[in-house]
Amino acid sequence: MPSNVSITDLIEEYSQGPALLESSTIGLTDSQLDALPVAGTWSIRQIVAHTVHMDAIACDRMTRMISENTPLLVNVDENAAIAGGLYEALPLVTMLSLFRLNREIMTHIFKTRPQVDFSRVGVHTHAGLLTVQIVLEKYVKHLKHHVAFIEKKRGMV
């Protein structure tokens, strides 16, 4: 269920996401990005890569929800890319650039769409019926969730 936050405020918060992610990683060395201070958890590089990857998927989902009639939104196994080693040694600057560009594109789309588009729906294979607004809110929260982990790990590396 959507929150009581206005769409305008939600879009503004979403658009500030790149600065939040960038500031959480500023000044980190490769060894800090790859450190595993707690066994069985993700490194900061893996957290950033996961965040960027899932956000790109969210961009695709929201674009399709706005432009198509009730698209199917297939669930993603967030651990598969980690387990497969896909995020190892990805350049931080490239990940942050992709995140910024995707958020800029989506912010432009959101600002040019009528309010009714935020009620358009897609069907997620696990979560069921979702609106654009719900997905947008989820990814604003998703970023904050992972930035909190990055900041905690910064203090351990």
Q: What is the pLDDT of residues 43-99, one digit of tens each?
A: 999 999 999 999 999 999 999 999 999 999 999 999 999 999 999 989 999 999 999
Residue 61: give its domain's CATH number: 1.20.120.450
Structural domain of 102 = 7-154
Q: Does 102 fall in a domain?
A: yes
Q: Does 1 fall in a domain?
A: no
**Domain count of the fold of the chain:** 1
Torsion of CA 83, 88, 91, 97, to 10 degrees: 0
Q: How many CA atoms lie within 13 A of 122 on its CB side?
A: 27
Using one digit for the tens of pLDDT, what is the confidence trace for 119-129? 999 999 999 99
* Distance (Å, whole) CA 130 – CA 90: 31
Q: Does 66 fall in a domain?
A: yes
Checking if the pLDDT of 143 tops 90, the result is yes
Q: Does 42 fall in a domain?
A: yes
State what percent of residues in the chain have pLDDT above 70. Answer: 99
Distances 79 to 36, 76, 99, 104 between C-alpha atoms, Å: 16, 9, 19, 27
* pLDDT given at position 2: 62
pTM: 0.95
* pLDDT given at position 4: 84
Q: Does 2 fall in a domain?
A: no
